Amino acid sequence: MSNDALLRELIDAGVAGLTVSWADNNGIPRSRTVPIRGLHAAGETGIGVTSLFAVFDSSDAITFEHPGLSTPSGDTRLVADLSRVVQLAGQPALAWAPGNLVAADGSTWPYDQRGVLQRVVAELAGTGLTALAGWEIEFTVERDGEPGHHGPAYGPAALTEIDEFVAAVLQDFAANGLAINQLHAEYGPAQVELSLDATDPVSAADDQLLARQTLRAAARTHGLTLSFAPLPSLSHAGNGWHLHTSLWRGAENLLTGGPDGPTGEGASYLAGLLRDLPAVAAITAPSLGSLARLRPGFFAGAFAFWGVENREAPLRYVPGTDFLGQERANLELKVCDASANPYLALAVTLACGAAGIAEGLTPPAAYGTDPGTWDESDRAARGVAALPSTPDDQEAALAATPRIEGVLGSDLLSAFRAVRRSDAAAARDTTQDDVLGGLRFRY
């Protein structure tokens, strides 16, 4: 459809504005809304946005500690991807589109997270590879500050308490072009999960942002408040946003393997991701809430290892079967949550995995149990270490591999680290309860 036809169709449908959204270095969605007559301009020259969004921290404070963005001066353009415009089913006066941030002269801006993922996807294509990706989304549902449902976990009874919301989610996701794979009452108090079908990486990240907006609108309509935070409070279960990926050469899924794991290049993809997992986790589970979520025994993936269908493993291999189709094989990254920028999360996951293919790496042994139940000496003997559990650990992990900087570029990585330091400094004199409380409704 031409952009003229798109504009006419949206106006005829009663759309008054276009919201263009991106995600910052805290995984927080940000946006600008223009009257719908501004659609062409939003897609061509974009909307003015301060360059300082690259150094916003999780509580909207601006850090000036990254040398490239250390003054109040500077502007960028937020260019809408008009191929992705949808009229929002739950907010029908608005259309929505993801955007790229470009420099004021239209050139590439080094802090554009969506552009980073687009570049990684193009580089994969240059080596004959494509990827599929899909997120699981866990969240907590409240009504007037009380639990939105009372279980039982996985019970249809729990969902009857939020029946109108669930119906709206199913309808609005379909109308917004988001393919839900399944939905259920999750294990934790008042927790719900839905998963999205796998699609190409940039669409998967776009869809993850659109899913947040769609969920929030449905919740508002039905009097609910949602928390997407990695750990809404110490008495909640963690909200993991597990990321499933598979890598393909043409019609061949490289993750296809057997009950013992992937073979060949699929095994090397897994090995590459495992090699850099501490640094990858610093991008895919970056916030103070992420660190609080990573508790052993909570299926969040606290130790760096992999397993076949092992729910305690941060890298869980999901084999295909003849029953389901061998092409369904994929690798689940559990150490990922809503405080990750979805574009950066996918970019580092795919790039570190692909580096394993380029170098022909072989993965270490898989484990089928929970290393959190082993002695420290057993973990040491098997080379299984805890993933970063403090901001200092994250800094060290990021510094220990050249590959994250290779993906993000030095400017974006430096801004990202400055933002993490700003969060850590703000938390220094507060309690963990207050930190988690401050993050509860940010994502």
Under the criterion CB under 5 A, does residue 332 sit at the interface with Mg ion?
no
Q: Please report how close the Cβ of residue 27 comes to ligand GLU at its closest, in angstroms.
A: 15
Under the criterion CB under 5 A, does residue 193 sit at the interface with Mg ion?
yes
Parallel, antiparallel, or unpaired for β 225-227 and 243-249?
unpaired
Residue 299 touches which member of Mg ion, ligand GLU, none, C-beta under 5-8 Å by kind: ligand GLU
Q: Please report how close the Cβ of residue 272 comes to ligand GLU at its closest, in angstroms.
A: 23
Token reading at 176? 């917004």
Of 298 and 305, the one with the shorter C-beta distance to Mg ion is 298
Of 193 and 423, the one with the shorter C-beta distance to Mg ion is 193
Q: Please report how close the Cβ of residue 274 comes to ligand GLU at its closest, in angstroms.
A: 18
Of 57 and 332, the one with the shorter C-beta distance to ligand GLU is 332
Please, is 221 exposed, middle or buried when counting C-beta atoms within 10 Å of its C-beta (0-12, 13-18, 19+)? Answer: middle
Parallel, antiparallel, or unpaired for β 306-308 and 315-318?
parallel
Of 184 and 421, the one with the shorter C-beta distance to Mg ion is 184
First to last CA, the chain: 33
Alpha carbons 50 and 66: distance in angstroms, whole number? 15
Residue 334 touches which member of Mg ion, ligand GLU, none, C-beta under 5-8 Å by kind: ligand GLU
Interface residue list for ligand GLU (CB under 6 A): 138, 187, 237-238, 240, 293, 298-300, 311, 334
Q: Which residue is nearest to ligand GLU (CB)?
A: 240
Among 125, 279, 269, 285, residue whose Cα is nearest residue 200: 125
Q: Which residue is nearest to Mg ion (CB)?
A: 193
Alpha carbons 317 and 308: distance in angstroms, whole number? 5
Of 114 and 316, the one with the shorter C-beta distance to ligand GLU is 316
Residue 298 touches which member of Mg ion, ligand GLU, none, C-beta under 5-8 Å by kind: ligand GLU
Please, is 69 exposed, middle or buried when counting C-beta atoms within 10 Å of its C-beta (0-12, 13-18, 19+)? Answer: buried
Q: Please report how close the Cβ of residue 96 comes to ligand GLU at its closest, in angstroms.
A: 27
Residue type, 101: L
Counting residues that bind Mg ion (by CB under 5 A) gives 1
Residue 20 touches which member of ligand GLU, Mg ion, none, C-beta under 5-8 Å by kind: none
Of 64 and 154, the one with the shorter C-beta distance to Mg ion is 154
**Pattern 148-187, Mg ion, x by CB under 5 A:** ----------------------------------------
Of 25 and 310, the one with the shorter C-beta distance to Mg ion is 310
Under the criterion CB under 5 A, does residue 337 sit at the interface with Mg ion?
no
Parallel, antiparallel, or unpaired for β 130-143 and 180-185?
unpaired
Q: Please report how close the Cβ of residue 184 comes to Mg ion at its closest, in angstroms.
A: 8
Kindly write down the DSSP assignment for every residue of 104-151, as one continuous string: TTSSB-TT-HHHHHHHHHHHHHHTT-EEEEEEEEEEEEEETTEES---
Alpha carbons 134 and 200: distance in angstroms, whole number? 9
Of 193 and 370, the one with the shorter C-beta distance to Mg ion is 193
Q: What is the DSSP letter of 329?
A: -
Among 74, 30, 67, residue whose Cα is nearest residue 52: 74
What residues line the site for Mg ion (CB under 5 A)?
Answer: 193
